[in-house]
Chain A
Amino acid sequence: MADADIARVFRAEYGRAVAVLVRLVGDIDLAEEAVQDAFATAAERWPAAGLPPSPAGWIITTARRRAVDRQRRESSRVDRHAQALLIHSPGEEPAEEGPVHDDRLRLIFTCCHPALAESAQVALTLRLLGGLTTAEIARAFLVAEPTMAQRLVRAKAKIRDAGIPYRVPADADLPDRLRPVLAVVYLIFNEGYLPSGPGPDPVEGPVRAELCAEAIRLARLLAELMPDEPEVLGLLALLLLIHARRPARTTADGDLVLLAEQDRTRWDRELLAEGQALVRRCLRRGRPGPYQIQAAINAVHSDAPTAADTDWRQIVQLYDQQLELAPSPVVALHRAVALAEVEGPARALETVERLDLDGYYLWHALRADLLRRLGRDAEAALAYETALALTHNPAEQAQLRCGLRSVTRRDG
């Protein structure tokens, strides 16, 4: 029984245990303290006694006893939650299965309540469902630890004081309320996949890779809990298909490798197969949404044995569909990348020039690339320089510098 085993159980079971405890005690802070106590006790006992038959059940039962103890001690806090807890607790082992899944879902929807700021939604989801420490979350989002601690305290206080319910919204409200939940999971993944700023190890830093894994775990959970929501399956497929390319995505030095130049034999076949199967399942539903379409686009990429075999026509069609569902200049920009392959860089450049994305580094980066391919080197150089000034990610900067060198070399 090594520390690594306890850490593994912690990662796998923390969110479930907190979710169950929140339901039982109706108080997030008390639930968290009790679960942390239970893991601390496990860390003392398990190395000698070995792993119990059901580690999750053991943690939940122990945490519940801790919560009862704490509530007894703080007699002023004996409210009806505590009384309910006392009635159920003596001696008997509770059935830990049953509504456990719903507990986690309820907690995700509570963390992602629209009355909480988006930054707090992400942080709280990572904290309560992912078991990340405040320090880890602060590092991942590039804020000071006290700032993040304060954000978490404030969010938890608002849930308690404003009466944000622990509830999965009714079917009628679900599409609206599911949106922030999916957005949070996607944001968590993106923050891990392409950190927004420089960090100690900006591309493959351990915390960032952890964020991708955590987002996929949450998406799997949602898909397991809501198998009839095609957008949930679409999001999971999307994350799996993108994550499958990770082994080929950077060089040993941490430089980004463009999709076209990646060694496709290094893509994770298992994740790809799972993602593609999910995309097929979504297609059969016939209820397309933005995440499903993005997943389908990534599935087309992953179908091609080499970059040259990519079915760009199909990708352009998928982007057209995406633009119909949710028009956005950023989607139009990505469509232009595919359009350049189907109809050439001149047509793509026409589209790009029409987009109002002057503050967005990718707009300048794509413009630079298209101008380079059209031989308009001086204009390309300017665009590369503007793009460089707009991104803080070192890997992206390296790539842009490489493009800039190629047009200035031809010049001189």
Chain B
Amino acid sequence: MSDIFSILRDHGLLLLVGQYPNGPIGGLALTFALSVLGIALAFPISVVIALARMSPFAWLRWPATTLVYLVRGVPLLMFIFWIYFFLPLLTGHAVSGFSTMLITLVIYQAAYLAEVVRAGIEGLPSGQAEAARAVGLSYGQTMRKVVLPQALYNMVPAMLSQFVSTIKETSLGYVIGVNELTFAASQVNSTLLTKPFEVYAILAATYFILCFALTQLARELERRIARRRAGVVAPVKPALIVASAVSDTPARS
């Protein structure tokens, strides 16, 4: 145990912010920056992909569906290498590890988030969109003013889980030398050489605290949203929805 504290005392700052302020920022700060930027940039793209996936036009549906299946079927690591090798070829400039990782995460998460958004839209009663169209709203207005606000609100917990996935995925930046948390920890490990278990236990604990807190937050939000929907949106069958909201206590124990 005392080993863990001395590692934290000597290298804690490196794990937290990397070489900053004497060098580039890294460690947990970079992990956080990558995941926040990644999910924030992926979100608007994911809405577009989700709408394209549900579009009546095949020329919109096909590329979006292909992207979703490509992302679902190919490891993230492969995507990282594709971007790593091809972005410089395409642009003619060297691309930093940070940008490589960010672009990969945006593409990957946009496809996964698109499925979340699609599930949210399809989960709404179809009467919502039909009523909006019947009142005379255009397709764009229906989506913007009626469907998306409700669907996205219901999807907040799922998006938070997707954010947790993004945090975990930034660890792959290690492979292309992005100085995020995992990379920083492996550097600490190679300076110390004799304490691999302690270093990687600290690393795992750091990710766990961050991700577990967010997961718990997502669950709490899910409970609240379910309660609100049970009260406001669907008064006809509250028993069913309440049952699924409190279903954290196993039905058969």
Chains A and B form a bound pair: no
Q: Which residues of A come within 8 Å of B, CB atoms?
A: none
